[in-house]
Amino acid sequence: MTLSRVAACFLTTLGLNPPLALLALAALLPGSAWACEKSLRWDDDPPFSMRRADGSVGGIDVDLNREALARLGCQARLVKLPWGRALKELELGRLEILPGAFRKPEREAYAYFSGALPQPSRNILFMHVDALERWPVNRLLDLQDTPFRLGAQINVSYGPDYQRLMDHEAFAARVALVASRESLWQMIDRGRIDGIIADEHSGVYELRALGLDERIKPSDVVVSTEAAEVAFSKRALTPAFVSAYAATLEALVDDGSYARIVQRYLAP
């Protein structure tokens, strides 16, 4: 058996089927166009991407995509960009990989998408412990005819149930709209509002960092489950590379690596 066949067989043990294993093998062979550096976006958005206490950059998305690239024989070149600028750089081909992107028709014009991970992060309702006892609800819409005081970030979409609540004039009048989620956590703690909607991973991480995790808790109310994906520049990368990358992400989920990365940032 040739060295390349042996290597391809090894790659199938990582979760890649034979055709994709051969694609990934191309990244490992000398002289391959894939044996290179790929630009990966990050910004201050813990726990998904952030600068850690030791000065290094990490986070769930950063670590996951670094590992995916490593399994394809590449390494990440981290580029710090605000979200709007990152989308433009992806469109122009100057940024190659953008984690945490939602698939939209206008983005599909210039980006390939990885597909969603099997266990996407959800938007859920976080509430003060007193509010949890007072309103043991199962759906966001169950709060419509209550005096519940919701907080939300300006210009953030939380899904159809939230929009239906905002169409209800009496409820919308009680919603506190502010720019910063940290301000919303503090408003809950001070009793000015009863709860907010947040990504479950971000919420757990931020509450722990603020020392509020004993007074503000995640509820069982799932507001939306739309899954973010990894976006790839069509100008910079090929469909074959994206297919191999997507298969590698699936392998990282299947072998438990993704769960271990998540726990690295969210475990008590």
- Domain residue extents for the chain: 3-119+227-266, 123-224
**Do 39 and 95 form a contact (C-beta atoms < 8 A)?**
yes
- Rg (C-alpha) for the chain, rounded Å, is 21
CATH 3.40.220.10 fits 123-224, yes or no: no
pLDDT in tens, the chain (268 residues): 433 343 444 444 445 555 455 455 544 444 344 458 999 999 998 999 999 999 999 999 999 999 999 999 999 999 999 999 999 999 999 999 999 998 999 999 999 999 987 666 789 999 999 999 999 999 999 999 999 999 999 877 788 899 999 999 999 999 999 988 999 999 999 999 999 999 998 999 999 999 999 999 999 999 988 788 999 999 999 999 999 999 999 999 999 999 999 999 987 7
Q: Is the dihedral of CA 230, 109, 83, 123 positive or negative?
A: negative
Query: Residue 260 and residue 141: Cα distance in Å, rounded?
Result: 34
pLDDT at 4: 38
Adjacency order of strands within the sheet including 111-113:
75-80, 37-42, 97-101, 229-233, 111-113
Fold of 3-119+227-266: D-Maltodextrin-Binding Protein; domain 2 (3.40.190)
**Do 36 and 236 form a contact (C-beta atoms < 8 A)?**
no
Domains 3-119+227-266 and 123-224 share a fold: yes
**Do 250 and 16 form a contact (C-beta atoms < 8 A)?**
no
Query: Residue 56 and residue 139: Cα distance in Å, rounded?
Result: 40
pLDDT at 98: 98
Please name the residues in contact with 265: beta carbons below 8 A apart, sequence gap of 6 or more: 46, 47, 58, 59, 60, 201, 205
- Go through the chain and tell me how many residues it has: 268
pLDDT at 17: 55
Q: Could you tell me what percentage of the chain is helix, strand and coil, using 3-state DSSP and rounding each to the nearest 5? A: 40, 20, 35
Cis peptide bond prior to 47, omega within 30° of 0: yes
The one-letter amino acid code at 60 reads I
pLDDT at 157: 75
pLDDT at 32: 47
pLDDT at 35: 57
